[in-house]
Amino acid sequence: MSYTLTATDKTAALQLNDDERFNYFVNKADEHQEIWILTDEHGCMMLTTEDEEDCIPVWPHADFAKEWAVGDWSQCRAEAISLAVWHNRWAPGMEEDELLVAVFPTNDESGMVVDPRELDAALARKQKLGRKN
């Protein structure tokens, strides 16, 4: 279940740079055990970077995804993926399909584009740290 995102928290997160939003994303995904994508009747939405690399954008909360879904993406809906499903199915599948991940893009920033293994490793490190505390 997603957490409540206050206007203050949302504004603060959107003012972060790509690296800071990546860390914010990892922290929130670990805390709430879910990430958010955009889907339509054809499946998961993908984007192409300026370097012509295909990636799937992900967000830490449905509200961020919904805010990004404008223009050609306005028909999309936010859909949660549990971290267990991300680790076991999405990350390996994206790697096999040679897709990248755009972590927490905003309307002004593309987000940090990483290999799914890199995001998976960051999430796994965060989970390990959480178990030690």
**How far apart are alpha carbons 3 and 24 in whole angstroms?**
14
Burial string for 78-104 (b: 16+ CB within 10 Å, else e) reads bebbebeebeeebbeebeeeebbbbbb
Any idea which fold 19-36+46-127 has? Trna Endonuclease; Chain: A, domain 1 (3.40.1350)
| 100-103 and 77-82 beta bridge pairing | unpaired
pTM for the whole thing?
0.91
Query: In the predicted model, is pLDDT for residue 16 greater than 60?
Result: yes
Query: In the predicted model, is pLDDT for residue 132 greater than 60?
Result: no
Query: In the predicted model, is pLDDT for residue 43 greater than 60?
Result: yes
Domain boundaries, the chain: 19-36+46-127
